[in-house]
Amino acid sequence: MSRTQISIVIPCLNEAKTIVQVIKDAQKQIKLNHLPGCEIIVSDNGSTDGSLRILKRVSGIRLINVPVRGYGAALHWGILHARGKYILYADADASYPFSNLSLFITAAQKHPDLVLGSRLKGRIYPGAMPFLHRYLGTPILTFLIRQLYRIPVTDCNSGMRLVRKNFYQKLNMHNSGMEWASELLLKTALKGGRYLEVPIIFNKDRRLRHPHLSSWADGWRHLKTIILLKPASLYPFLILFPLLGIVFYPTSFSLSFLFLSLFYILTLSLLTLHLMSAAIESKFLPLDNFLIHFKLVPLTGLFLFIVSGLIYYLPESRLGTKLFLVNILGITCMWIFLIETVKTHLVNRLPDSV
């Protein structure tokens, strides 16, 4: 790979205290690694602490004003503006030293699609990573991703990565927040991209204020992305829920009721998700064609008629069963409404031009 093909992108939101130091560090390492054509892009989305004023005086950088809030948005805009074949990105809070750059350059010689800087394989300085993130959040999410997506990641939340631009552009990215980082990793795995890791140094950030990351909210958003990008991760529950429903039936009708309802809801939700993804990507499998062409509404009408009859004729002593059937009816009606909405708005699209 030619040494002029790397761009550095630094996402920035209110980092007046550290941004200049970070840029200087990047410039120093660009020189040391003989990368004369390497550009530095600072991607700012609405700093109000004077960062922008400072950045306008700094030479040798490209400043991009991103109109959308969020870590993912800042990086997405930065990457799309970058001219390099590869883009290396790292935080503006001085936590990822650019002395890590040489490792990424070496890895880039192997023509990867994504190189992740692993803090857990490298060196984490005291105070750099909160206990909860280091020993709970990051290892659990990393383990889940390794199991579900079969990608040998060791630090899924790392904020220093190198990505090939034309690979990134094929990923059809959606998330503007912190979960963008998971989306990038997971889509690399789903697309079978060439993935490498390098061990990096991680310092305690130099800023005074709290990080933008909010542990629980962002952790949950990462988890949600992990599950929704691969709904097959929920398949085990299709066995677990009915099993629990049967196990609890003799001792607790209510718990059995709950698990069987969850099974029914999950089955219908997965079918809806399947059809929605197919419609968005215009790739219909036999299951989707079945959902599209099968006469669902009249069939549901018949189902409603029969189940309503059952509810009416069952004796009041079978109240539990009656309530269960009412519940099934409600869920079915809601599902039909959802499926018909997806069909109307997403499936039956006419071309914009011929």
- Contacts (CB under 6 A) with ligand GDP, residues 289-308: none
- Name the residue nearer to ligand GDP (CB basis): 22 or 296: 22
- If contact means CB under 5 to 8 A according to the sort of partner, which of ligand GDP, Mg ion, none does residue 219 touch? none
- Name the residue nearer to ligand GDP (CB basis): 24 or 110: 24
Q: Which residues contact 222 (CB under 8 A, 6 or more apart)?
A: 141, 156, 157, 178, 179, 181, 182
CB of 189 to ligand GDP, least distance (A): 21
CB of 135 to ligand GDP, least distance (A): 16
- Token look-up 């209110």 returns 14
Question: What are 265's two structure tokens?
Answer: 């809801």
Cβ count within 10 A of residue 296? 18
Among 55, 92, 160, 279, binds ligand GDP (CB under 6 A): 92
322 binds ligand GDP (CB under 6 A): no
Among 8, 61, 74, 278, binds ligand GDP (CB under 6 A): 74
155 binds Mg ion (CB under 5 A): no
CB of 175 to ligand GDP, least distance (A): 12
Among 39, 91, 183, 218, binds Mg ion (CB under 5 A): 91
Which among 86-94, 288-296, 313-321, 340-348 is the span making contact with ligand GDP, rule CB under 6 A? 86-94
Can you give the binding site for ligand GDP, defined by CB under 6 A?
11-13, 15, 45, 69-71, 74, 91-93, 159, 211-213
Can you give the binding site for Mg ion, defined by CB under 5 A?
91, 93, 95
